[in-house]
Protein backbone atom coordinates (compact mmCIF):
# COMPACT_ATOMS: atom_id res chain seq x y z
CA UNK A 1 0.00 0.00 0.00
CA UNK A 2 1.57 3.31 -1.03
CA UNK A 3 2.14 6.09 1.44
CA UNK A 4 0.01 9.17 0.88
CA UNK A 5 0.98 12.80 0.64
CA UNK A 6 -0.16 13.43 4.22
CA UNK A 7 2.53 11.12 5.60
CA UNK A 8 5.21 12.77 3.48
CA UNK A 9 4.10 16.23 4.60
CA UNK A 10 4.14 15.16 8.26
CA UNK A 11 7.67 13.78 7.97
CA UNK A 12 8.87 16.89 6.14
CA UNK A 13 7.26 19.09 8.81
CA UNK A 14 9.06 17.19 11.60
CA UNK A 15 12.36 17.70 9.77
CA UNK A 16 11.75 21.41 9.18
CA UNK A 17 10.55 21.98 12.74
CA UNK A 18 13.73 20.42 14.15
CA UNK A 19 15.81 22.54 11.78
CA UNK A 20 13.93 25.70 12.77
CA UNK A 21 14.53 24.99 16.46
CA UNK A 22 18.26 24.66 15.80
CA UNK A 23 18.43 27.90 13.80
CA UNK A 24 15.89 30.39 15.22
CA UNK A 25 16.60 31.84 18.66
CA UNK A 26 13.01 33.14 19.18
CA UNK A 27 11.63 29.67 18.48
CA UNK A 28 14.08 28.17 20.96
CA UNK A 29 12.65 30.45 23.66
CA UNK A 30 9.12 29.23 22.88
CA UNK A 31 9.96 25.51 22.72
CA UNK A 32 12.57 25.07 25.46
CA UNK A 33 11.87 25.21 29.17
CA UNK A 34 13.34 28.08 31.09
CA UNK A 35 16.91 27.34 32.07
CA UNK A 36 17.49 24.91 29.19
CA UNK A 37 19.78 25.57 26.25
CA UNK A 38 19.81 24.28 22.72
CA UNK A 39 22.86 22.19 23.61
CA UNK A 40 20.63 20.06 25.87
CA UNK A 41 18.56 18.85 22.91
CA UNK A 42 20.84 19.42 19.93
CA UNK A 43 21.91 15.78 19.59
CA UNK A 44 18.28 14.60 19.65
CA UNK A 45 17.26 17.19 17.04
CA UNK A 46 20.09 16.14 14.74
CA UNK A 47 19.07 12.48 15.16
CA UNK A 48 15.45 13.38 14.41
CA UNK A 49 16.52 15.25 11.28
CA UNK A 50 18.63 12.29 10.15
CA UNK A 51 15.81 9.76 10.59
CA UNK A 52 13.09 11.94 9.06
CA UNK A 53 15.35 12.89 6.17
CA UNK A 54 15.99 9.24 5.33
CA UNK A 55 12.30 8.38 5.67
CA UNK A 56 11.25 11.27 3.45
CA UNK A 57 13.74 10.35 0.75
CA UNK A 58 12.77 6.67 0.89
CA UNK A 59 9.04 7.39 0.73
CA UNK A 60 9.43 9.93 -2.05
CA UNK A 61 11.84 8.26 -4.42
CA UNK A 62 11.32 4.51 -3.94
CA UNK A 63 8.87 2.92 -6.36
CA UNK A 64 5.53 1.87 -4.91
Q: Residue 2: pLDDT above 90?
A: no
Question: Which pLDDT score, from 0 to 100, does residue 3 have?
Answer: 80
Question: Which pLDDT score, from 0 to 100, does residue 15 have?
Answer: 98
Q: Residue 61: pLDDT above 70?
A: yes
At 9-57, the pLDDT tens digits run: 999 999 999 999 999 999 999 999 999 999 999 999 999 999 999 999 9
Positive or negative: CA dihedral 19, 24, 26, 29: positive
Contact by Cβ (8 Å): 53, 8? no
User: Whole-model pTM above 0.75?
Assistant: yes
Amino acid sequence: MPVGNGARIAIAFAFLFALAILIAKPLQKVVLKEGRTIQDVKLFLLFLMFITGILFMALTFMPN
